[in-house]
Amino acid sequence: MASYASRSFVHSFGPTFRARGGPSLRTKPFSLARYTRGYATSAAEQPRLRLGSTAPNFLAKTTHGDIDFHKFIDNSWAILFSHPADFTPVCTTELGAFAKLKDEFEKRGVKMIGLSANGLNSHDEWIKDINEISKTNLQFPIIADSDRKVAFLYDMVDQQDLDNIDEKGVAYTIRSVFIIDPAKKIRLIMLYPASTGRNTAEVLRVIDALQLGDKKGVTTPINWEMGDDVIVPPSVSTEDAKKKFADVKEVRPYLRFTTGNLNNSH
């Protein structure tokens, strides 16, 4: 990702952009038209946000001050989630719901950080609305991304918007969710259209599944929730599984479930 950032994003974003691990570089003024032409036509210039790849680092202004994203994550898990715009109905319900789950995310060692394609003054006023409407106290930072630097870096854009740029000359961000582990690796990506709100319970569920898998060396079946049976991965033989786990139920040689004290992950 560092080579991509230094090759493409440093060229596109101005007046300055700092590639991960590199110095601050002064660049030409940002041109969305120039960037979207390359975005639409050059496969070599596409972001490589694969599961297991390092989450691109960036500097940004947020409602909690300036941040370096990797320093913000530190040694925690993190969830980065984007929103199309401030003072919009679906986004307002989402931010309120995530704010109410502050204790649940903290219990799992997860830092939350939002992103909306507006400036800090707008964010500050919007947070007042969110708190009043949802009866909550939003405490996580929200990135001000009015120039779409982070949105393009993380490919948080809709192709339809790129093809039909509005009168402001910018594309709206979609609803993206990136779950990132303490090693700064992207572990899960969810992409939603602007019209569809997310499910906070699903975000918590997949964090539970990822953390349990990392700690116990298991995988999770369809619709798994904390407390359900888990699956012994194919890389572990049944003989070794019986030594490792308290109980192993073999449905097929390739499908083995186990219970025990695996679910005490927090």
- The residues assigned a catalytic role are 91
Joined tokens for residue 155: 């490919």
Instruction: Convert 112-131 to b/e letters by CB count within 10 Å (16 or more is b).
Output: bbbbbbbeeebbeebbeebb
Q: Give the span between the Cα atoms of 149 and 13, in whole angstroms.
A: 7
- Left if phi > 0, otherwise alpha if psi is -120 to 50, otherwise beta: which for 176? beta
Task: Quote the DSSP letter at residue 125.
Answer: H
Instruction: Provide the token pair at 262.
Output: 């695996």
**CA atoms of 239 and 157, how far apart (whole Å):** 48
In one letter, which amino acid is 264? Answer: N
Give the whole-angstrom CA distance, residue 133 versus residue 94.
11
- When computed from its CA atoms, the radius of gyration of the chain, rounded to whole angstroms, is 21
Contacts of 22 (CB under 8 A, 6+ apart): 2, 6
Question: Which residues have CB under 8 Å from 71's CB, separation 6+?
Answer: none
- Our CA dihedral for 14, 16, 17, 23, rounded to 10 degrees, sits at 150
